[in-house]
Structure formats: C-alpha cells, structure tokens
Amino acid sequence: MVYKTYIVLLSLFLLFFSCKKENPSTIGRNAISGADSTLIWVKNARNTDLPLKERKEFAQIAYENAKGEFNDSLRLNYYSELSISYLLLEDSLNFRKVNSRSRLLAEDLRDSTTLASLYWDLAYFFDTNFVKDSAYYEYNKAEKIYSDLKENYSNGRVLYNMARILKDIKDYSGAEINIIKAIELFSPLENNEQLFLCYNLLGTVAKELKEYEQSREYFTKSGEYLNKVQSKELKEKQQSTLNNNIGNSYKDQGDYLNAIPYFKNVVNTDSLRFKSPKTYSIALNNLAYSQFKTGETKISGDLLKEALEINMKENNFPEIANGHYHLAEYYLGKNDTAQAISNAREALNIAQNNNDNSLTLQILKMYPSLDPENAPAYLNEYLILNDSLQEEERKIRNKFARIRFETDEFIAENQLLARQRQLWITIAFGLFSLAILVIVIIFQRVKNQKLRFQQGQQEANQEIFNLMLAQNQKMEEGKQSEQKRISEELHDGILGEMNGIRMVLLGLNKKIDDDAINMRGQAIEKLQKVQEEIRTISHELNDASYQNSITL
C-alpha cells in the first residue's frame, strides 16, 4: 500500500513539473504533452533511472488510460507511444498486443505515417529476436508506405535494415539493391551518418562476395562521410568499426600484413577496452590471429587468450567460439594436438548451439588435420552440412523473394481493390440514377397509358352509344315498316274479304233456299278464315313487340 502511494505521489510530482516546462498543445510521436497524463505515464515507463518494476507499472497505467480515451486519434497516439515503451521494456506480450491494436486503429483512421512506424516497431521486435523473415516482411510493408508518402529519410533507414537482413541470409544482390536505393534517398538529404552506414554495409557485402578491392573502396567512401559527422563520440565509435572492417577485408583476402595496422588502430583507441569491451575483444582477436598468420606466434598466443577471456566475461558467445577456433589453429601450428582438439571441440559446440553454420564448416574443415584417422568421417560430415546449408540458404532466399513478391502483390491487390471499390461506387451510383430514371419513365408511361385507356374507353362508350342509337333507329324503322305492312294486310286483305262477306250475307239475308244456305255456310267459313288470319297477325304483332322489348 505504501509502495503504491509512493508511485502516485511521484507521478503527481512529475506531472506538476512537466506542466510547467512543456507545451500542452504539443502532441506527437516524439513530443510529450505536459498536460496529458497518459503521455507522462509513458515517459515514466521509459525512464531508465527508475526500477524495471515501476516502469512496467507506469506503462500499465498509461495503457489503461489509453483504452478509456474516446478520441481515436489521441488513442492511436497513446498506443503507438506505448508500443515503443513495451519494446524498450522487452515486454513482448504487451508489445504485440498494443502494436496489433495500434495497427488496426491506424488502418481504420487511414493514418499511413503511424501505421508505417508501427510496422517498423514490429519489424525491429522480430529483428532483435532473430526472426529474420518476419522482420523483413514488416520492414517491407513499412518501406512501401514510406515510399508512397515520399518520406525519404524513414524510407532510407528501413531499406538499410532490409539490406542488413538480406546480407545476413547471404542474398548479396538483394542487399546491394536496397543499399543503393537508400543511398539515393540519403544523398540529397546530406545525412552523413546514414551514408556512412550504407557505404560501410556495402563494403561488407562486397567483402562477403570476395570483391576485396571493391569493398575497401566502399569502406574508404564510408570513412569520408564519417569524417563529416558532427558527434565526436559517434565518430570515434564508428571509426573503430570501420577500421575493423577494413582489417577484415585484408585478413579474409589473406593479406595479414596490411590487416594488422587497422586492427592495431582499433586496439590502441583510447579507453576502448572499458568503453566497448566487445569491439576491443573482436579487434584484439583479429589482430592476434593476423599476427599468428605472419609468424609472430609468441605474441599472438597471449593476445588470443586475452581476447577469449574478455569475450567470456561479456558472454559474447559468437566471439567465444571464434576465439576457440583461432586458438585451435594456433595450437595446431605449434603441434599441440591435444590442446588444439580441446579448443576445436569447444568452438564446435558453441558454434552449433548458436547455429553459426559458417564457423561450423570451418571447424569441420580443420578436423582432418587434428584427427587424421577419422578424416573421411569429418570430410563426409562437412560435405553433408555444406550441401544442406546451401539448400537451406537457397530456400531462405526463395522465401524472402516470395515475401517481396507477396508484399508487392498485396499492395497491388489493395490498389486494385481501391480502384475496384471506386468503380463499383460509380457503377452503383449510375445504376441507382438509372433505376430512378427507369422508375420515372415507367410511372410516366403507366400514367399516359392510363390516360389513353380512359380516352379509349370514352371513345368506345361513345361508339357503343352511337351504335345503340343506330340500332334503335333501325328498330323503329322496322317497327314502322311492319306496322305499315300489317295495316296494308288488314286494309287490303281482311277488310276487303269482310266487306265481300258482308255484301254476300246482306244479299242472302232474305233467302232461305238451299243455295242461299250453302252460300251462307261458305261465307261463315270465310269469316272463320278471316278470324284465323286476324289471330295470326295478332300473334305476329305480339312476337314483334316481345323481340323489341328484349333488344331494348
């Protein structure tokens, strides 16, 4: 409880003084806002003067604060700062978590600059943990973004790191291409430090390709840029590295006499043994080995042992293995086979544990001289390992080539998807506009068709009405014609016959003879026929009236 109280009071104290000293409006990747408590926690997490446990607690407080931030841009800024903090704290679990969240948020906000820096952080994490393929993959993604943004300085640094990884996997042509690209970016910026690093790496690549003269030309060019660097401390440190590299180019070429002065320059650098024991021991080992090769066995033996002791104190295992290998060669030259075998075994064990295949091959190549009886077995082991290493190196180079291809393909796909998305949006808008136009046209056509239908219906009704009028007129004319016919029949036929019967009956009214009786009977029969004829005409009139009523 007291411990937590101390942390809170210390944080408030730092917050108070930070508010006074710094500009609260400044928020950025390399700026700490005095008024922003989250960034103050981050700053405390990076304070190497504090205990590691406290720094991790500050980082956790900053992370909890960042999660509660509603402003996405600010939260992304906090996450990106925390990503670096956890990287410096070597907290891989929290680093991966925060880095992943940061990248997702940066993608959502389309913050390309921050996204590229997060890829860089992740690449550095893989790089320091010797996961070279993943490191190269993340560096490659960062490089593509920086290239698109025209951020030449960051782009050049990422290209340098990619070249360094390619050099490690012995993809020397790929390394040269990336270094040259980086140099082209740094030259207009006149960044002497980065140009020194690029030419120094270019010289190392040329040395590995056994182009020794060319490598020293690059190292000389590198030295010219180093002389222009302002920082005296940096210049002194890098000068030792450069001298060691030039000495190695002569040593690897077999020119030990010319190598010795460069190694001596490094060893004689003021206080180097205390400032940088690793650099000192490497140069001392190289100096002793070169002297041994020139015949100075007495001096070189003591120096080889001294270099090995320093490396063992520093736990510098690659150089420990190298030191044992040089001592084995030294004792072999003095015909002390037992001691040579002992050192060779130590070198082989360390080299194999550290996956230093190049040194392993050198030791196996030396073993037949140490143990002639088992020379065929050592030679066979050497050949098998050499073949497998060449195959493995070929696979690794192919893998990195696929990474480059897949990254380029991924970026091309993203660009294609962006263009396709824009195209689909345009097509969708066009189709939507077309659909609205079609709906308007269809609606207008339906409306016009409805009007035409109503107009046609009115015309049809008018035509039907006219037809009915014409039919009624024809029926009326037929009725009148029928009435005229019946009238004529009644007038000309029935009335004529009835008049004739009436005249006959009047003439026979007073007669009672047989002829008169016969004639009366005939007259009565005619009356009956007239009656039937009248009935028939009556029926015809009734039928005509019925048909007329049905038509109406």
- Residues 95, 9, single domain; the answer is yes
* d(C-alpha 124, C-alpha 45), whole Å: 19
Asked whether residue 194 is domain-assigned, the answer is no
The answer to whether position 79 is within a domain reads yes
Which range of 10-14, 199-203, 505-509 scores highest in mean pLDDT? It is 199-203
Beta bridge partners of 31: 28
pLDDT, mean over the chain: 80
**Which of the residue ranges 30-39, 337-346, 506-515 has the most confident prediction, judged by mean pLDDT?**
337-346
* Same structural domain, 544 and 443: yes
Q: Per-residue pLDDT for 140 more than 80?
A: yes
- Residue 268, domain member (yes or no): no
User: Angle 473-484-498 (CA atoms, 0-180°, nearest 5)?
Assistant: 160
Of 110, 137, 160, which one is at a domain's C-terminal end? 110
pLDDT in tens, 166-204: 998 888 888 999 999 999 999 999 999 999 999 999 999
Give the orientation angle of helix 317-333 with respect to helix 357-370, to 10 degrees: 20
Residue ranges of E strands in 395-547: none
**What's residue 168's pLDDT?**
87
Residues 345 and 417 in one domain: no
Q: Where are the alpha helices (DSSP H) in 490-513?
A: 495-507
Structural domain contains residue 295: no
pLDDT band at 262 (very low <50, low <70, confident <90, very high): very high
- Is there a domain that residue 381 lies in? no
Task: For residues 418 and 361, state if they share a domain.
Answer: no
Which of 81, 110, 139 is where one domain is finished? 110
Q: Which domain holds residue 3?
A: 1-110
Kindly report, residue by residue over 63-101, the tens digit of the pLDDT: 998 888 888 888 999 988 998 999 888 889 999 999 999
Give tens-digit pLDDT for 23-62. Answer: 322 333 343 443 478 889 999 989 989 999 999 999 999 9
- Asked whether residue 347 falls in the same domain as residue 465, the answer is no
Tokens representing 172 are 């020397």
Residue, of 34 and 535, whose pLDDT is higher: 535
Domain membership flag for residue 497: yes
Contacts of 161 (CB under 8 A, 6+ apart): 123, 124, 127, 135, 139
pLDDT digits (tens, 9 = 90+) for 413-459: 555 656 776 777 888 788 888 888 888 888 888 888 888 878 878 88
Torsion of CA 420, 426, 429, 431, to 10 degrees: -80
Average pLDDT over residues 149-154: 94
Do residue 418 and residue 545 come from a single domain?
Answer: yes
398, pLDDT greater than 80: no
Residue 181 lies in a domain: no
Region of 303 (left: φ > 0; alpha: ψ -120 to 50; beta: rest) is alpha
| Position 350 in a domain | yes
pLDDT of residue 112: 92
Q: Which residue has the tokens 């003021």?
A: 270
Number of domains in the chain: 3
Q: What integer pLDDT is reported at residue 481 of this predicted model?
A: 75
- Smallest CA-to-CA distance from 239 within 270, 213, 210 is with 270
- Res 122: pLDDT: 93
